[in-house]
A and B are shown apart, each in its own frame.
Chain A
Amino acid sequence: GIQVEQSPPDLILQEGANSTLRCNFSDSVNNLQWFHQNPWGQLINLFYIPSGTKQNGRLSATTVATERYSLLYISSSQTTDSGVYFCAVYTGTASKLTFGTGTRLQVTL
């Protein structure tokens, strides 16, 4: 099956810093989604982004499907950005998402 790898696995930032999280996938995909799992365990859908660039406040995401990667940008990070960020992909005709390994982000004061 498809492999979905995220980097870096862990990231510590000071509040106000910017960061880029990467998601690489091993096969062509129908679409890609980014999720944030907060410290209480809730999973929030950030972006549905099969290709191109989208922005939502301080967050933006870019997917280059032909080169099999996606990037999540976090600008002016805040402590509430802490948690784990997952990318997930749909492949072929399957109606199911395959999740990446996650990036654990800690934002400190």
Chain B
Amino acid sequence: NAGVTQTPKFRILKIGQSMTLQCTQDMNHNYMYWYRQDPGMGLKLIYYSVGAGITDKGEVPNGYNVSRSTTEDFPLRLELAAPSQTSVYFCASSAGGAFSPLHFGNGTRLTVT
């Protein structure tokens, strides 16, 4: 019963460094999402995907890139990390987009100093 798995759990980056946040799901869900949650705030959508090979921007895509080469994996790439990207990042998936429940991973806490 793995569900949605995110790695790493925690990471500290220096300004200007790059990294990839990994997300994998074992539920054969077509829809996958990346959200960020700043301290004391709600969730904002960064990117989403409705199937392998298809991605689209959310509310706050600047400074991030994604790819979806398989149904299971949806990595999020940060290029040239900035302090404004300090946040908790959540990956999520659902079977049918608007018509099915959304399942979240446990999050990655990222600090950029």
**Contact B98 A33, beta carbon cutoff 8 Å:** no
A86-B43, A100-B42 known; A94-B102 Cβ under 8 A:
no
Is B106 an interface residue when CB atoms closer than 8 A count as contact?
Answer: yes
**Contact A102 B42, beta carbon cutoff 8 Å:** yes
Is A17 an interface residue when CB atoms closer than 8 A count as contact?
Answer: no
CA distance A102 to B41 in the complex (A): 8
**Contact B98 A45, beta carbon cutoff 8 Å:** no
Number of A residues whose C-beta is below 8 Å from B?
22
Minimum C-beta distance from A82 to chain B (A): 15
Number of A-B contacts defined by CB within 8 Å? 53
Residue among B42, B50, B99 with the most chain A CB within 10 A? B42
**Contact A90 B43, beta carbon cutoff 8 Å:** no
Minimal Cβ-Cβ distance residue in A for B100: A48
Pick the residue among A41, A90, A98, A99 that contacts B106 (CB under 8 A): A41
Residue among A45, A86, A95 with the most chain B CB within 10 A? A95
Is A42 an interface residue when CB atoms closer than 8 A count as contact?
Answer: yes
Is B75 an interface residue when CB atoms closer than 8 A count as contact?
Answer: no
Residues of A within 8 A of B99 (CB): 30-31
Is B101 an interface residue when CB atoms closer than 8 A count as contact?
Answer: yes
A residues 52-109 touching B (CB-CB < 8 Å): 86, 88, 90, 94-102
Minimum C-beta distance from B10 to chain A (A): 11
**Contact A86 B103, beta carbon cutoff 8 Å:** no
Minimal Cβ-Cβ distance residue in A for B45: A96
CA distance A95 to B98 in the complex (A): 5
Counting from the closest, the 9 A-B pairs by CB-CB distance are A95-B97, A90-B98, A43-B104, A48-B101, A99-B42, A99-B43, A30-B98, A45-B101, A96-B48
